[in-house]
Structure 1
């Protein structure tokens, strides 16, 4: 079931990712939201419910509960990139950078164009003092999503930091 659903979602996600590349895209937030919606479809109502419960727990700052729900999701849908990405956020918010990095790696293995996972990777690398590697992650995310002003600012900030200039 997941593989069949994944092909349809992949085609729609590909269309949305291509649209994000358009230079003049005043409604880029709408395209980004639609892409997140596509990435959040597992193909199973019960798996989608686990994702929702995990995300709701993150929003409520119940990170342990979020990790439990999202771990169940990963266990039952190991090819669902958004399961790993969401759990990475729960781990990150819990201060567990190692597991978060591992889940971000899984996300990117399953979905190499996941700009959210690349942004998360950049954030952790920057927070841990790996500025050059963080810049690489932010640049990769910005290449996929050139309209996100936060990514543009992160690239600019780290280009200055890594060049030795001051802000």
Structure 2
């Protein structure tokens, strides 16, 4: 009985240490992302492309090889133009990894490609609830809102995306286009 108790104590101690180390690693990961976002938001930073790449790399890691595979399969299907297969893979991903923001964002992209704006908007909302700094989701939101004729809200979304990542020429162009349209219709 004493050996069983000692074994249980060792297991509990190991689990507790793992939780502490995992929490420390998560905090370190957040600090790293915070620093990368600060680099990316600086419009004068010549290393912005590296910061963007590093953020995207962090976003693509779910912490699970199976979930990462589903993301890759979904992205590959989307690249091949098979939106239905992409949606299926990415739905499996969001079902099994609901806390993985990039899964929601990828499925939003697939829904958008399929012309399903309602589900795309719902997935963008899920993405932004998990990662409010997801400039791609904000830009996608702007695109959908603009196509739906909600130009004021679209402009707001594009501006939010651009504030996070001021090196997006397409977003800058969208802001300019919408601002000009608004100025042209003012009385």
User: When the two structures are superposed, what TM-score results if normalisation uses the length of structure 1?
Assistant: 0.91
In the alignment, what sits opposite 1:155?
175
Within 5 Å, give how 1:36-55 maps onto structure 2: 36-55=56-75
The CA distance in 2 between the partners of 1:90 and 1:6, in whole Å, is: 29
Give unmatched runs, 5+ long, in structure 1.
none
User: Secondary structure, in 3 states, of the residue corresponding to 1:16?
Assistant: helix
Detail structure 1 runs of 4+ shifted over 4 Å in the superposition: 3-8
Counting helix residues as a fraction of each chain, which structure ranks higher? 2
1:87-128 per-residue CA deviation (whole Å, 9 max, x = no partner) reads 000000000000000000000011111000000000001111
Within 5 Å, give how 1:20-99 maps onto structure 2: 20-99=40-119
Shift in alpha-carbon separation, 1:39–1:159, aligned structure 2, 3 A = same
The CA distance in 1 between the partners of 2:52 and 2:43, in whole Å, is: 15
Post-superposition offset of 1:33 = 1.7
In the alignment, what sits opposite 1:101?
121
Shift in alpha-carbon separation, 1:6–1:60, aligned structure 2, 3 A = farther
User: Is the 1:84–1:106 Cα contact (8 Å) retained in structure 2?
Assistant: yes
User: When the two structures are superposed, what TM-score results if normalisation uses the length of structure 2?
Assistant: 0.82
In the alignment, what sits opposite 2:133?
113
- The structure with the larger Rg is 2
The CA distance in 1 between the partners of 2:112 and 2:26, in whole Å, is: 27
Q: How many residues align?
A: 165
| CA RMSD between the two structures | 1.9
Shift in alpha-carbon separation, 1:71–1:34, aligned structure 2, 3 A = same
